[in-house]
């Protein structure tokens, strides 16, 4: 085991050095090439720390290291610490974020929360049900264009158009999902990719309905209604969410509701049926699970959450365009699910903020920004192949083979 881990450190360091070579000699007022060597040194230090942790774990399993009373008390305190306090603290921090951040940071936070909703929706299809969907961004587009057309054509407000967009997204999800029920693996990925591109091309070429590549603009922002008592009598006062902090709190509440919904689904009978299909579809069907309807339900619910995110996205920008829904967006959402941990809700939330905020941190690198972004993803997947915060089942699956290997 020691020899294998040392070999990994050498190989991974060499691989990262190759990635960082193009950045040598690149200078900006805020970035110097000397940071490349610092980055490489930090990466090697992380690998060595990870190696030491693995050695300690393996020796603990072999009984070579005994727990001291101090470590036992610390572990007991951590286990007894209520998770509700941690969750409440994170919600409070997210709630006060717009009060201490500038508009640029708030805008990035809004984008991160939109991708949290998208990642959790795709997690139902990919993480829980095990269906590789590469055209998921099509449902995002359906939600955006549903609200845009309803608002511009009929004057329907955001909150009234939202359930209509959800229903339309679920219908499109079933339409795309039904022909792929018997497909698996690569074939399923190719077909869903094709459906996603079909939706984008339809939006791009249906000029009379979607205005084609010019897009739709002029949609109204979400509005809140308050009771108002005036001399003429009782009326409803309207408040449009035009400022970035107001939009942030709106998508923040939507994201919390999405998290609660996905969590409830994960712990329900439907969630267990999805996991059974993911593990072995034939065995699940023989056990009495209606695989056809359960898989269609996964497509429909995943599309519903994407439609919610799409409707808010269109309302925030007051503009939508087919070029917003390229295949690359589906790849980013899939990376969020994989990097965070397949089937892990906390992991997807963290990964959404990492993947969306990281390119903004490296914006000053301009052309080399995506190289730095790719290097970060590579480092994370090397150190944590099961994801940032993996689900317990996923962690057991990935480490089962390592535990059964003979030790040197």
Is residue 59 very low, low, confident or very high in pLDDT (cuts 50, 70, 90)? low
Q: Indicate if the alpha-carbon torsion angle 302, 305, 308, 314 is positive or negative.
A: negative
List of long-range contacts for 381-386, beta carbons under 8 Å, 24+ apart:
381/339, 382/12, 383/46, 383/47, 383/50, 386/341
Is residue 189 very low, low, confident or very high in pLDDT (cuts 50, 70, 90)? confident
Give the lowest-confidence range in 31-45, 103-117, 154-168: 31-45
Q: Does the domain at residues 97-366 carry the CATH identifier 3.90.320?
A: no
How far apart, in whole angstroms, are the C-alpha atoms of residue 407 and residue 402?
10
How far apart, in whole angstroms, are the C-alpha atoms of residue 200 and residue 142?
9
Residue 396 has a pLDDT of 64
Q: How far is CA 129 from CA 169, 280, 293, 385, 399, in A?
A: 19, 10, 12, 20, 21
Distance, first Cα to last Cα, the chain: 5
Is residue 133 very low, low, confident or very high in pLDDT (cuts 50, 70, 90)? confident
Average of per-residue pLDDT across 237-252: 86
Residue for token digits 């508009």?
103
Residue for token digits 């992380």?
46
Residue 187 has a pLDDT of 85
How far apart, in whole angstroms, are the C-alpha atoms of residue 209 and residue 205?
9
Tell me if the pTM is above 0.85.
Answer: no
What rounded mean pLDDT belongs to the chain? 78
How far apart, in whole angstroms, are the C-alpha atoms of residue 385 and residue 123?
17
Assess contact for 339 and 380: CB atoms under 8 A: yes
Better pLDDT: 353 or 7? 353
Compute φ and ψ for 371, nearest 5 degrees: -65, -45
Residue 275 has pLDDT above 80, yes or no: yes
Is residue 97 very low, low, confident or very high in pLDDT (cuts 50, 70, 90)? confident
Q: Where are the beta strands (DSSP E) in 161-208?
A: none
Residue 179 has pLDDT above 80, yes or no: yes
**Rg (alpha carbons) of the chain, rounded to whole number:** 24
């Amino acid at each position: 085991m020691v020899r294998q881990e040392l070999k990994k450190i050498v190989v991974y360091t060499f691989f990262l050095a190759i990635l960082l070579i193009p950045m040598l000699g690149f200078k900006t007022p805020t970035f110097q090439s000397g940071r490349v060597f610092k980055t490489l040194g930090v990466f090697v230090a992380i690998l060595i720390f990870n190696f030491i942790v693995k050695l300690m774990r393996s020796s603990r399993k072999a009984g070579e290291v005994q727990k001291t009373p101090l470590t036992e008390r610390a572990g007991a305190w951590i286990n007894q610490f209520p998770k509700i306090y941690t969750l409440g603290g994170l919600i409070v921090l997210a709630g006060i974020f717009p009060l201490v951040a500038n508009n640029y940071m708030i805008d990035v936070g809004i984008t991160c929360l939109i991708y949290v909703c998208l990642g959790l929706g795709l997690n139902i299809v990919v993480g829980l049900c095990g269906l590789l969907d590469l055209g998921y961004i099509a449902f995002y587009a359906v939600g955006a264009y549903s609200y845009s057309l309803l608002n511009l054509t009929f004057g329907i407000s955001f909150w009234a158009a939202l359930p209509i967009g959800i229903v339309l997204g679920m219908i499109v999800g079933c339409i795309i999902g039904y022909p792929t029920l018997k497909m698996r693996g690569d074939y399923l990925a190719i077909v869903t990719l094709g459906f996603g591109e079909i939706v984008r091309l339809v939006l791009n070429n249906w000029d009379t309905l979607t205005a084609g590549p010019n897009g739709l603009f002029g949609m109204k922002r979400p509005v809140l209604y308050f009771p108002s008592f005036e001399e003429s009598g009782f009326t409803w006062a309207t408040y449009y969410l035009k400022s970035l902090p107001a939009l942030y709190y709106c998508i923040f509440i939507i994201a919390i509701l999405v998290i609660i919904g996905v969590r409830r689904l994960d712990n329900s009978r439907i969630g267990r049926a999805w996991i059974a299909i993911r593990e072995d579809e034939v065995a699940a069907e023989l056990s009495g699970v209606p695989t056809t309807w359960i898989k269609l339900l996964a497509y429909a619910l995943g599309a519903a959450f994407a439609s919610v995110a799409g409707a808010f996205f269109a309302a925030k920008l007051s503009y939508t365009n087919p070029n917003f829904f390229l295949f690359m967006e589906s790849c980013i959402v899939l990376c969020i699910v994989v990097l965070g941990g397949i089937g892990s809700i906390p992991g997807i939330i963290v990964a959404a903020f990492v993947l969306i905020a990281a390119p903004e941190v490296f914006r000053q690198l301009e052309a080399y920004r995506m190289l730095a972004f790719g290097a970060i993803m590579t480092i994370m997947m090397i150190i944590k192949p099961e994801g940032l915060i993996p689900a317990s089942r996923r962690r057991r699956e990935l480490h089962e083979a390592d535990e059964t290997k003979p030790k040197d």
